[in-house]
Structure 1
Amino acid sequence: MLPREHRLVSGDDFRKATRHGRRAGTRTLVAHLWVPEGGSPARVGFVVSKAVGPAVTRNRVKRRLRHLARERLSSLPGSAVLVVRALPAAAEASYDDLGRDLDSVLERIAR
């Protein structure tokens, strides 16, 4: 579970990250990174649509992504807002595959 201060819950922040942030994608996910002015801690939000699968599958994908993002919080810039959108291929991806894809998109966004 992500600590409360690192959870992205504001719809406005989701919109700003997806519209104004940098984007990178892989076969299983797309990530948007926006770094606003301010001293708030890095926050992470997830979008897992019904296209990924039924509720059980979506929740499994979200849990995996939450755990992977928590491990990578220290690599995000100070007040970063990261939105991770799962694609339908994430339903069949293993935990390790999702981790590699998340590392790949974070590396490309950071450039």
Structure 2
Amino acid sequence: MQPKDAGKAAFRVSPPRRGLPPVLTSRADFLAAAKARRQGMPGFLLQARNRGDDGPARVGFTCSKKIGNAVTRNRAKRRLREVARLRLPPAARPGWDYVLVGRPGATISRDFAALCEDLTRALQKVHQ
């Protein structure tokens, strides 16, 4: 018989999906990222935290009720996930956590190419 915690990872992340880095699922990881570096962009807010290990970069997404109803929040998170899938892997550093926070109005209405450029610029500024 195996112990209750056998086979569980030391931290909670979901497996990589469609080219995304592992996704944050633990509330503690989101709170830790919120206390670390921040870079506001027109389309979203990027929070970044150096975990201090050699593990893979991880990413999280959040949209509050200020964004709108559930349909609007889900659309905003889908847009942020796609931006992260396209731009995060080449620019992310190992051992870092990144959280993309949607902005009311801007995340939904901003041009997708502009959102992609926002993430590229935000990553450059965070890693200076």
Q: Runs in 1 of length 4+ with deviation above 4 angstroms?
A: 1-5
1:97-108, aligned counterparts within 5 Å?
97-108=114-125
* CA displacement, residues 33-67 of structure 1 (integer Å, 9 cap, x when unaligned): 11112222110001111111222221111111111
Residue 96 of structure 1: aligned partner: 113
* CA displacement, residues 87-106 of structure 1 (integer Å, 9 cap, x when unaligned): 11212112222112212211
Unpaired segments ≥5 residues, structure 2: 1-16
The answer to whether the 8 Å contact 1:2/1:66 transfers is no
Unpaired segments ≥5 residues, structure 1: none
| Greater helix proportion | 1
Change (3 A) 1:14 1:78: same
Percent identity, aligned pairs only, is 34
* Greater shift in the superposed pair: 71-80 or 43-52: 71-80
Q: 3-state SS of the aligned residue for 2:77?
A: helix
Using the alignment, how far apart are the partners of 2:44 and 2:20 within structure 1?
Answer: 23
- Structure 1 length-normalised TM: 0.88
Correspondence 1:65 to 2:85: no
Q: CA RMSD in A?
A: 1.7
- Structure 2 length-normalised TM: 0.77
Using the alignment, how far apart are the partners of 1:38 and 1:94 within structure 2?
Answer: 35
Pair member with larger Rg:
2
How many pairs were matched up? 110
Residue 76 of structure 1: aligned partner: 92
Greater relative contact order: 1 or 2 (C-alpha under 8 angstroms, separation 6 or more)? 1
